[in-house]
Amino acid sequence: MSDKLELQNHALFSAHFEDGSIFVSGNSYDDTKWLQLPHKQIKKIYYALPNGDHLCLEGYEKYFHMLEATKDLNGPRAGMRRIEYAYIMGKRGNIVVSYRITLFHKKNDKYKVGDIVKREFHIHDKFVKGLNPSNWR
């Protein structure tokens, strides 16, 4: 499944700020424009799912988004990037809530495209500490 097909040519997300303004993302995983989000309090984010529905995160202090890809260094898919997951996260107090959205179905994997896994991490968890601190909004 291609990136564009997954997004169906629609914006990846829209961020609604406390001041009433709205930021609309790019419509490609290659150009999400996440880092162009202004540093002001986000009220809620609508995040597009592969089936066209949206996931809404609201009421967090900070938000984080990332796409996870793999690139094989050899073999039949060598050099081809494969986007496997999108993450949209919210931080409230000492807890980060992560929604992981599957974008590629791997053989024998129980998670299909569009499946969402919700997990909670303490801010001192290695997963959270390894995130780029500049990418929180």
Q: By CB under 8 A, name the binding residues for other proteins.
A: 29-32, 34-35, 64-81, 106-109, 127, 129-132, 134-135
Write down the least CB distance from residue 5 to other proteins, Å.
17
Write down the least CB distance from residue 64 to other proteins, Å.
8
Q: Which of residues 17 and 111 has its CB atom nearest to other proteins in the complex?
A: 111
Cα 40 from Cα 120, distance rounded (Å): 24
Give the side-chain half-sphere CA count within 13 A for 34. Answer: 24
Write down the least CB distance from residue 137 to other proteins, Å.
9
Write down the least CB distance from residue 106 to other proteins, Å.
5
Q: Which of residues 49 and 137 has its CB atom nearest to other proteins in the complex?
A: 137
Q: Which of residues 20 and 107 has its CB atom nearest to other proteins in the complex?
A: 107
Write down the least CB distance from residue 92 to other proteins, Å.
20
Cα 126 from Cα 37, distance rounded (Å): 25
Q: Which tokens in the block code for residue 110?
A: 């129980």
Q: Which of residues 23 and 29 has its CB atom nearest to other proteins in the complex?
A: 29
Q: Which of residues 5 and 73 has its CB atom nearest to other proteins in the complex?
A: 73
